[in-house]
Structure 1
Amino acid sequence: MYAIVDIETTGGYAANNAITEVAIVLHDGNREVKRYETLVRPGISIPRYVQALTGINDEMVADAPGFEEIAPTIHEWLKDSVFVAHNVNFDYSFLHSQLKECGFHLDSRKLCTVRLSRKVFPGAPSYSLGNICQHLGISIPNRHRAGGDANATVLLFEKILQAGGLEVIRTMLKGRNKEQYLPVNLPAEQLDRLPQTPGVYYFHDQKGKVIYVGKANNIRQRVSSHFSNNKTGRQKQEFLRNIYSISHEPTGTELMAFLLECVEIKRLWPVYNRSLKRFEPSYGLYTYEDRNGYSRLILEKRKKQLQPVYTFSLLLEGQNLLRKLIREFDLCPRLCFVQKGEQSCEGLHEGYCRGACEGSESPKSYNRRVDEAIGALIKSLPSFTLVDRGRHAEEKSCILIEQGRLYGMGYLPADAAIYDASDIKNYLTRYPENDYMRGLIYAHAERWPVKRKDLP
Structure 2
Amino acid sequence: MYTIIDVETTGLRPSEDKITEIAIYKHDGEQIIDSFTSLVNPECYIPDRITQITGITNEMVAEAPKFYEIAKQIIEITEGTVFVAHNAHFDYGFVREEFKALGYKFTRKTLCTVRVSRKIFPGLPSYGLAKLCRHFKITLDNHHRATADAMATTQILEKLLEKNSAKLDKNVVETEIKAKNLPPKINLDEYNALPEETGVYYFHNEDGDIIYIGKSINIKKRVGSHFTKNLNNRKSIDFQSQVASISYEITGSELVALLLESDEIKKHHPKFNRAQRRTRYFWGIYTRNTRAGYTGLYAARLETEKNKEPLTMCGSGHTARQILLSKIQDFGLCMKLCDLYKTKSACFDYQIKQCNGACIGEESPEDYNARVEEAIATFNRYSLRTFLVLGKGRNKNEQSIVAIERGNYLGFGYVDKDTPIATFEEAKQYIKTYKDNLDVQKIIYGYLKQNKWSGVLEEQTQEEE
TM-score, length of structure 2 as denominator length: 0.51
Q: What do the CA deviations read for 1:29-63 (whole angstroms, capped 9, x no partner)? A: xxxxxxxxxxxxxxxxxxxxxxxxxxxxxxxxxxx
2:286 partner letter: Y
Preserved CA contact (<8 Å) 1:382 1:403 = yes
% identical equivalent positions: 31
Asked if residue 436 in structure 1 is aligned to residue 439 in structure 2, the reply is yes
Preserved CA contact (<8 Å) 1:419 1:455 = no
> 2:458 — aligned with what?
454
Higher-Rg member (1/2): 1
Please report how far the alpha carbon of residue 327 of structure 1 lies from its aligned counterpart in structure 2 after TM superposition. Answer: 7.0
Aligned mates of 2:201, 2:349 — CA distance in 1: 55
> 1:310 — aligned with what?
311
Please report how far the alpha carbon of residue 437 of structure 1 lies from its aligned counterpart in structure 2 after TM superposition. Answer: 1.8
> 1:262 — aligned with what?
262
SS at match of 1:454: strand
Please report how far the alpha carbon of residue 433 of structure 1 lies from its aligned counterpart in structure 2 after TM superposition. Answer: 2.0
SS at match of 2:389: strand
> 2:428 — aligned with what?
425
Q: What do the CA deviations read for 1:334-379 (whole angstroms, capped 9, x no partner)? A: 34245689x97123432534263xxx449x9769956994699479
> 2:416 — aligned with what?
413
SS at match of 1:433: coil
Counterparts of 1:39-438 in structure 2, within 5 Å, are 178-281=178-281, 283-287=283-287, 297-303=297-303, 305-306=305-306, 307-313=308-314, 319=322, 323-324=326-327, 331-338=333-340, 345-350=348-353, 352-354=355-357, 356=359, 360-361=360-361, 373=372, 377=376, 380-438=383-441
Please report how far the alpha carbon of residue 322 of structure 1 lies from its aligned counterpart in structure 2 after TM superposition. Answer: 6.5
Is the alpha carbon distance of 1:353 and 1:197 closer, same or farther for their aligned partners in structure 2, counting shifts above 3 Å? same
Is the alpha carbon distance of 1:253 and 1:327 closer, same or farther for their aligned partners in structure 2, counting shifts above 3 Å? closer
> 2:100 — aligned with what?
none
SS at match of 1:252: coil
Cα RMSD for the two superposed structures: 4.0
Aligned mates of 2:348, 2:311 — CA distance in 1: 26
Preserved CA contact (<8 Å) 2:177 2:224 = no
Preserved CA contact (<8 Å) 1:331 1:370 = no
> 2:77 — aligned with what?
none
1:184 partner letter: P
Please report how far the alpha carbon of residue 401 of structure 1 lies from its aligned counterpart in structure 2 after TM superposition. Answer: 1.0
Please report how far the alpha carbon of residue 225 of structure 1 lies from its aligned counterpart in structure 2 after TM superposition. Answer: 0.6
SS at match of 2:394: coil
Preserved CA contact (<8 Å) 1:333 1:347 = no
Please report how far the alpha carbon of residue 246 of structure 1 lies from its aligned counterpart in structure 2 after TM superposition. Answer: 0.6
Q: What do the CA deviations read for 1:385-415 (whole angstroms, capped 9, x no partner)? A: 1111211111011111111111111111112
Aligned mates of 2:454, 2:175 — CA distance in 1: 45
Aligned mates of 1:259, 1:334 — CA distance in 2: 38
Aligned mates of 1:199, 1:284 — CA distance in 2: 31
Counterparts of 1:27-42 in structure 2, within 5 Å, are none
TM-score, length of structure 1 as denominator length: 0.52
Q: Relative to structure 2, which stretch is displaced further, 420-429 or 366-375?
A: 366-375
Preserved CA contact (<8 Å) 1:326 1:333 = no
Could you list the runs of 5+ residues in structure 2 that have no partner in the other structure? 1-173, 461-465
Aligned mates of 1:237, 1:309 — CA distance in 2: 41
Aligned mates of 2:388, 2:321 — CA distance in 1: 25
Please report how far the alpha carbon of residue 231 of structure 1 lies from its aligned counterpart in structure 2 after TM superposition. Answer: 1.1
